[in-house]
Amino acid sequence: MKTYYITTPIYYVNAKPHLGHAYSTIVADTMKRFHRMLGEDARMQTGTDEHGDKIVKAAAAAGVSPQAFVDDISGIFRGLWPKLNIDYDGFIRTTDEEHKKSVQVLLQRLFDKGDIYFGEYGGHYCYGCERFYTEKELVDGMCPQHLTKPEYISEKNYFFKMSKYQDALRRHILDNPDFIRPERYRNEVLAMLDGGVLEDLCISRPKSRLTWGIELPFDKDYVSYVWFDALANYITALGWPNNEGDSNGAYQRYWPGEHIVAKDILKPHGIFWPTMLLAAGIPLYKHLNVHGYWLVKDTKMSKSLGNVVDPLKAAEHFGLDAFRYFLIREMNFGSDASYSAEAITTRINADLANDLGNLFSRVLSMNAKYFAGKIPAVGEQNDADLLLSENTDRAAENYIQLFESMNLSLALEALWVPVRAMNKYVDEQAPWTLAKNGNTERLQTVIRTLLENMYKIAYLLWPVMPAASSTLQAQLGRPQGEFSRAVLDDIIKYRMHLRTGMTIASSSNLFPRLEMPKEEAPQKAVKEKKPAPVPAETPKQPVEFSDFQKLDLRIGVILKAEKHPDADKLLRFDIDLGEEKPRQILSGIAAYFKPEELTGKKVVVVANLPPRKIRGLESQGMILTAESDGKISLLTADSPAGSAIS
């Protein structure tokens, strides 16, 4: 059986879990479930990172011993995950005895090989990051992450010869284009590798300064650098090195795996970890999947800013599966996303209450009304029925492909194409009219066609919304069964899965509409209070409708956004307009947006303007924006790339 292994970062226990930790962990759970749905033997690993200065300081501040402190917070993490329906298989703590012994084996292996040496080092040490910074890396003398002044420390330490593996790593990244994904993070790592010889990594701390760590097996006066210890968890959790040569061991079965991390820890995962693996002669991980930050009012969530979102409270308030859906759908994996009660309410109301919930609710109640809740037989299907089913099947294929490439938000979006098509089909086929006219055979076919397509959607949603998916499947009379690739393939390939004559649920109300939170969403009220908008420019002359129709307006998905190499005001975009190749488009909006936040966004594009050279680059279209009070926003619509606007 094919295996799949996915890990989350192991979280520091100096603070309680927040939405950012929950996101990475829900993504890992969703990926594990997706691979289970594919019939694979999928394993998910998470845990806590418990050594280092940071923890010692937090314990001292709390007035307890480090051990008592880490036991407490690690327990909070471990207790949280089941409440978010996270089906992890392993939870590692870096204070576990087994882990400590395995890290010592790894250290000794590198030492024996001559890849760890003793030397003197002076550097700028940031306690927050637990690492030394070079002069070059500091920003105005401050740590770039914490914006605090690092302490200059000079001492004798052990170093790992990272530079020795620099070329091998660069070659591996070049040969395996999706080793680090999305691409922008791969490019960041390549830029670090190309920026000169890597400095060797200081992997020890003298016990005179820190005792809360794993003792070096070759020098009892030192403990391991916390990152060296933490990164090793991905293999020690599988029992390495005990079963390194054993074909039945967990390490042999599951390694190499996949990692999920956010962009804050790209360097340790993109450089330290793979060079450590190369040195130890252990295969490199399959993919490093890097996501962006959840922001609250444009600021990264952090304990010190007091803007952290409690994931459990949010899940309880909005409903766990709705919350999971929101996180996966809202964040374009790799880019930052904004969290607010308004954003989640809007998303849940639009996608779950209006689209999916409404579909189930209206079709099941019509089935109850017209057929006493019994699944009707299907008669001859016409073009509209067949088109609907083809639409669902195509979406299912896209969904699977997008999931496999970690485009989770786009995967859900792909699945909503048939969900919306089904609602439209209900309106167009108007079962109530068929019923009124006594057209029973057609009515049966319409309802059965809908139920069958709904079943496919319900089944496919399981990785993201496990409980809701099971409920929806059960409402259609087919409770969740065993997973296998053959079952999944059959579900997509065949059009009939439900049992004619079986009594099914007569209603469905899984996703009720939510009230817009008051303080955050005074949109309507504001609208009413606001004076009539003043036209931004002098009124334009009326145009003929036929002139307007000459414009080819389309939805484009931003695949890449970056600064124009020679013009500060311009951004250069690669935009998918549903054509064979993406288009290059330039836009003078650099002052208003960070390019990395635009990837994945949908914009309205004028697609039939003649190409124009701007500062040496050809622009093959124009992005539409709206301007108000000196602020620019992008026009957007939630339809697939290439959709025509009329």
**Choice between 49 and 413, CB closer to ligand MSP:** 49
Q: Which of 51, 124, 126, 259 is catalytic?
A: 126
Contacts of 237 (CB under 8 A, 6+ apart): 7, 45, 47, 90, 92, 99
Nearest to 9 by CA among 294, 296, 210, 234: 234
Helices (H), 268-407: 273-280, 311-318, 320-330, 341-347, 358-371, 383-404
**Choice between 229 and 576, CB closer to ligand MSP:** 229
Contacts of 386 (CB under 8 A, 6+ apart): none
Q: Which of 54, 129, 161, 564 is catalytic?
A: 129
**Choice between 274 and 418, CB closer to ligand MSP:** 274
CB of 286 to ligand MSP, least distance (A): 16
Does the annotation count 602 as an active-site position?
no
- Amino acid found at 311: P
Whole-angstrom distance, CA of residue 351 vs CA of residue 563 = 34
**Choice between 20 and 274, CB closer to ligand MSP:** 20
Q: Residue with CB nearest ligand MSP? A: 20
CB of 612 to ligand MSP, least distance (A): 39
CB of 231 to ligand MSP, least distance (A): 5
CB of 61 to ligand MSP, least distance (A): 17
Nearest to 308 by CA among 12, 72, 14, 17: 17
Q: Positive or negative CA dihedral for 468, 458, 32, 264?
A: negative
**Choice between 54 and 554, CB closer to ligand MSP:** 54
The DSSP element (H or E) to which 623 belongs, if any, is strand 622-623
Q: Which of 149, 303, 369, 436 is catalytic?
A: 303
315: its two tokens: 């899940």
Nearest to 341 by CA among 378, 297, 275, 404: 297
Measure the CA angle with vertex 80, ends 75 and 83; round to 5°: 145
Helices and strands per DSSP (H, E), number in the chain: 23, 26
**Choice between 38 and 261, CB closer to ligand MSP:** 261
Lookup result for tokens 């004076």: 531
Length of the chain equals: 646
Does the annotation count 35 as an active-site position?
no
CB of 219 to ligand MSP, least distance (A): 23
Q: Which of 32, 51, 54, 143 is catalytic?
A: 143
Q: Which of 57, 100, 286, 300 is catalytic?
A: 300
Contact between 289 and 318 under an 8 Å Cβ cutoff? The reply is no
Instruction: Please state the three-class secondary structure of 116-155 as a single string.
Output: EEEEEEEEEEECCCCEEECHHHCECCECCCCCCCCEEEEE
**Choice between 262 and 555, CB closer to ligand MSP:** 262
Contact between 377 and 444 under an 8 Å Cβ cutoff? The reply is yes
CB of 262 to ligand MSP, least distance (A): 3
**Choice between 272 and 462, CB closer to ligand MSP:** 272
Q: Summarize as ranges the residues that interact with ligand MSP (CB under 6 A).
A: 9-12, 20-21, 23-24, 49, 230-231, 233, 261-262, 264-265, 293-294, 300-301
CB of 549 to ligand MSP, least distance (A): 44
Does the annotation count 524 as an active-site position?
no
CB of 322 to ligand MSP, least distance (A): 19
Q: Which of 146, 164, 267, 569 is catalytic?
A: 146
CB of 179 to ligand MSP, least distance (A): 17
Lookup result for tokens 């204070």: 95
**Choice between 295 and 474, CB closer to ligand MSP:** 295
**Choice between 301 and 476, CB closer to ligand MSP:** 301
Does the annotation count 21 as an active-site position?
yes
Does the annotation count 202 as an active-site position?
no
Whole-angstrom distance, CA of residue 292 vs CA of residue 3 = 27
Nearest to 107 by CA among 263, 196, 216, 267: 216
Per DSSP, the residues of 39-100 read T-EEEEEEEEE--SHHHHHHHHHHTS-HHHHHHHHHHHHHHHHHHTT---SEEEETTSHHHH
**Choice between 464 and 604, CB closer to ligand MSP:** 464
Contact between 234 and 285 under an 8 Å Cβ cutoff? The reply is yes
CB of 347 to ligand MSP, least distance (A): 17
Does the annotation count 100 as an active-site position?
no
Q: Which of 18, 99, 560, 564 is catalytic?
A: 18
269: its two tokens: 């995962």
- On the question of a cis peptide bond just before residue 256, with omega within 30 degrees of 0, the verdict is yes
Nearest to 640 by CA among 594, 584, 600: 600
Nearest to 44 by CA among 283, 346, 259, 327: 259
Q: Which of 21, 35, 291, 601 is catalytic?
A: 21
CB of 336 to ligand MSP, least distance (A): 8
As annotated, the active-site residues are: 18, 21, 126, 129, 143, 146, 300, 303
